Structure 1
């Protein structure tokens, strides 16, 4: 198959964000398929293009032909600037995509939902089927977050959501809650397959020796012998990270000097969180800023336990967070504060804890208890890693995606 893969924010391991599309594209190529990734250069600063034109960069990355439209985007942007970034990609993706020849099928992944517009236009122009991957339930997510308040815009997005679901040959969801949300729009459940986020077992090589890097890192942040809770990922409003710094304040008041909360990443809420820590003199919170994807395994290996944090909104309980599956790949126990399927995974497998998202004191009390259980937490590593290998490996999930794409292409030839 020759696959046209649309992902507005494609990233490789040279970046600092999730690499699901990169892993899937690479696996598809290993299976003998061709992949052309139509994306933006937002997260490709660490990669070198082989050709550059006025508004487009061309890369060849591990066999993936990458066409990247120059596009500014940041988590700090407001709604208007984000809208312009989305619009720019929509226009350019169609302009470039319609000139591509020989494509057999299109695989489009959100977010944002606006990826549906070039997808629908290219389907009509290229006359090829497409599979649509849902990473977030739009427009319900921005509606509950109150990021979009205009009923007119929300209604337009709802119509776009329904149209792309109907036109897609097949839909991939990333969690049971997302599957239910898609079904609620009137889509036949047989048209949907859940392919969760993946655990990158190759990146998280448990046999790799990070001793030297670990010592340097621990000394840099003065964390030697401390009990470490790690939250590594986006720092947007949806993550509700005020919960972590409020828990840190409680820990300080309880004189728990050996517990540190380490927050890696960047985003709109970071300045506010840093200001809160300065105001309350919280030396028990460490902000790492952007962390290169290649450094994530080393840093995660030092954590005694990790945190997957979200605001207490129903829609966010449907998320399939990358950091959660990274922790599983690293064999690290996980604390979650979202009453969704990640809570079910943690509790059913006995690999972590759930805390009330409205009560940061619950997190603080739990950390005080766990600080005395360092050895038992470390002993969970083999079992957590085994669960990741059995259920969430990139290899197995890529096989599932390939079967979906092949099935869609075969159906289109019969129709």
Structure 2
């Protein structure tokens, strides 16, 4: 098949964000399919294009042809600037995509929801079916977060959402909760599949832990004989990381000095969090800058436990967060504070703990209880990795995706 892959924020190992689409693209290419990705260069800055034409950069990486449209996107953009980036990509992706010949199938992955618009238009122009992947329930997520308050706009976006689902040949969701959200739009079960976010065991192997870098981190932040809890990834409003600062404050008030929070990444809330931490003179919290994906195994390896944090909003309980599945792949126990699907996973397999996102003292108390149980937590590594491999591996997810895409192509006479 000749597959056109639409993802506004496609990224490789040189980036700091999710590489799900990169892994899927590689697996599709390895299976003999031709894959062309249309994306932006937002997370491709470290890669070297083999040519540039106007505002499009061309890359050929791991058998994947990547067309990256110039973008000014960053995690710090305001609402209006983000909307302009969405609209710009939506328009340009269609312009670039319609020039590609003999496409058999289109695979479009959100967010944002607007990715579905060029997918629908290109599906019609190229006479190719499209499969739509739901990574977050839009517009419900930004509505619950208070980003979209206009009732007419909410109505319009919900109408677009329903139209995308209706026009798609198949819909892939990253969690059961997301599948329920799609189903609530009148979509039949036969048209919906769940492929969770994936655990990349190949990346999170012991061979990819850089011991020299790890020693430097330990020395820099004086982590010897400390109990380390890590949060590695986005620091957006949805993550509710004030919760971690509140837990830190309570630990310091209890004179607990051997627990350290290692918060790695970037995002809109980071400057305020750093400022508050400095103002409160919190000694048990460390902020590291954004790191490349290839360095995440090293940072995760030095943690005793990880945390996946979100605000206590119902829509966020449906999330399938990257950092959660990275921790699984690394064999690390996980604390979650979202009463949804991730809570079900850690409790079902007994590989972590749930704490209430409204009660930071509960997190502080749990860490005090666990800080003398390092050996027990590290002893869970192989068990967690086995669960990751059996249930959430990149190989399993890629195989399921390939089967769906090939079935759609066969049904539409494109194979």
TM range (shorter): over 0.9
Moved more, 269-278 or 219-228: 219-228
For 1:98 and 1:11, locate their aligned partners in 2 and report how far apart those are by CA, in whole Å.
Answer: 23
Tell me the distance in 2 between the aligned counterparts of 1:78 and 1:96. 27
SS in 2 for 1:141: helix
C-alpha displacement of 1:46: 1.2
1:211: how far off?
2.6
**Equivalent-residue separation in structure 2 for 1:232 and 1:226 (angstroms):** 18
Q: What RMSD in Å do the two structures reach over aligned CA positions?
A: 1.1
Matched, 1:87 2:117: no
Q: Distance in 1 between matches of 2:226 and 2:325?
A: 24
2: CA distance, partners of 1:123 / 1:208: 40
What is the alpha-carbon distance in structure 2 between the residues aligned to residue 192 and residue 135 of structure 1? 13
Match of 2:43 in 1: 43
Shift of 1:213: 2.0
Runs ≥4 in structure 1, deviation > 4 angstroms? none
Q: Deviations over 1:8-56 (max 9, x none)?
A: 0000001111100000000011111110000000000111000012210
Per the alignment, residue 357 of structure 1 pairs with 357
In structure 2, distance between residues paired with 1:208 and 1:275: 33
Q: TM-score scaled to structure 2, two decimals?
A: 0.99
Matched with 1:107 is 107
Task: Report the alpha carbon displacement of residue 414 of structure 1 after superposing the two structures with TM.
Answer: 8.6
Q: Deviations over 1:264-313 (max 9, x none)?
A: 11011101111111111001110012011111000000000000000000
Show structure 1 runs of 5+ residues with no match.
none
Superimposed CA distance per residue, residues 217-239 of structure 1 (whole angstroms, 9 cap, x where no aligned partner): 11122222211000011000000
Task: Give the drift of 1:216.
Answer: 1.1
For 2:103 and 2:183, how far apart are their aligned partners in 1? 29
- Correspondence for 1:121: 121
Instruction: Report the TM-score when normalising by structure 1.
Output: 0.99
Listed as ranges, the gaps of 5+ residues in structure 2 are none
Say whether residues 1:244 and 2:220 are aligned partners. no
- What secondary structure sits across from 1:413 in the alignment? coil
Find the aligned partners of 2:37 and 2:250 in 1 and give their Cα distance: 47
Superposition pairs of residues 368-387 of structure 1, within 5 angstroms: 368-387=368-387
1:13-412 aligned at under 5 Å gives the runs 13-208=13-208, 210-412=210-412
Q: Once the two structures are superposed, what CA deviation does each residue of 1:103-141 show, in whole Å capped at 9, x if it has no partner?
A: 100000000000011111111111100100000001100
Q: Note closer, same or farther for the CA distance 1:246–1:220 as it changes in structure 2 (3 Å cut).
A: same
Q: Secondary structure at the match of 2:271?
A: helix
The alignment covers a number of residue pairs equal to 415
Call closer, same or farther: CA 1:298–1:311 in 2, change over 3 Å. Answer: same
**Mean alpha-carbon deviation: is it higher for 211-220 or for 128-137?**
211-220
* Cα distance change on mapping 1:209 and 1:35 into 2, 3 Å: closer
Whether contact under 8 Å (2:14, 2:293) holds in the other structure is: yes
